[in-house]
């Protein structure tokens, strides 16, 4: 469903139920207010006025119950992995995960000698979009949101 179907002199918009649901979901991707390390600073930056993630409907929520997407922004230690797992489980479905930065992608600088770092958050929870960078620029996170929106667009929530 594209946005350029608005008729100038009124009219009727016909769409499929699936497309409508997907459009509604991808236009209001609410992430959990959850940052672990320095990538979280970039995440905050991209939510602030300069990059304004709010224009994509991305609006951080304080509770996992209201969140659609969890942005793993930072180094995932083994201690934190337990919490991340619980937070992910507490999110209502459908839920998505954006792995932001090298640390959460693969362990980053700690991939060899970091005794305390999980080598990739995808070993704990399923990841939908990976963002490369250390830390990634806000543009990269916006790109990840757009990629996730593309992914949601092709989903089928209602089983035929």
Partner 1 sequence: MTEVSQISEFGKILIFLITGIIMVCVIFFFNRLLAPDNPNYEKLTSYECGEEPTGNAWLPFNSRFYVIALIFLLFDVEMVFVFPWATVFGNHELIAKDARWGWFSLAEMFIFLGILILGLVYAWVKGDLEWIKAKPTVPTTDVNIPASFYEKLNLEQSKFTVKAFSMGNEPVAEPVAAQTPTELPPVRKPMFKPTFKKPANE
Note the residues at the interface with partner 1 (CB under 8 A).
21, 63-65, 83-87, 89-90, 92-94, 157-158
* Pick 14 or 158: Cβ nearer partner 1: 158
CB of 82 to partner 1, least distance (A): 8
CB of 9 to partner 1, least distance (A): 29
CB of 80 to partner 1, least distance (A): 8
Prior bond of 136 cis (ω within 30°)? no
Prior bond of 76 cis (ω within 30°)? no
CB of 65 to partner 1, least distance (A): 6
Within the chain, where are the H helices? 17-26, 39-47, 78-90, 102-106, 138-153
* Pick 27 or 132: Cβ nearer partner 1: 27
CA distances from 38 to 67, 103, 114, 133 (A): 22, 10, 17, 12
Proportion of the chain in helix, strand, coil states, percent, rounded to 5: 45, 10, 45
* Pick 38 or 81: Cβ nearer partner 1: 81
* Pick 86 or 123: Cβ nearer partner 1: 86
Prior bond of 75 cis (ω within 30°)? no
CB of 152 to partner 1, least distance (A): 14
Could you give the angle at the alpha carbon of 64 between the alpha carbons of 68 and 119, nearest 5°? Answer: 80
* Pick 21 or 140: Cβ nearer partner 1: 21
């Amino acid at each position: 469903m594209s946005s350029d179907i608005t008729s100038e002199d009124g009219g009727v918009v016909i769409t499929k139920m699936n497309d409508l649901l997907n459009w509604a979901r991808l236009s209001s991707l609410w992430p959990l207010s959850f940052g672990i390390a320095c990538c979280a600073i970039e995440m905050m930056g991209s939510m602030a006025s300069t990059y304004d993630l709010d224009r994509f409907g991305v609006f951080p929520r304080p509770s996992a119950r209201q969140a659609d997407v969890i942005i793993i922004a930072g180094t995932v230690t083994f201690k934190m992995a337990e919490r991340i797992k619980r937070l992910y489980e507490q999110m209502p479905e459908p839920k998505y995960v954006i792995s932001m930065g090298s640390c959460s992608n693969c362990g980053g600088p700690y991939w060899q000698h970091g005794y305390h770092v999980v080598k990739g958050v995808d070993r704990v929870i399923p990841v939908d979009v990976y963002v490369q960078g250390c830390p990634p620029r806000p543009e990269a996170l916006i790109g990840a949101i757009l990629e996730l929106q593309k992914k949601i667009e092709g989903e089928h929530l209602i089983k035929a």
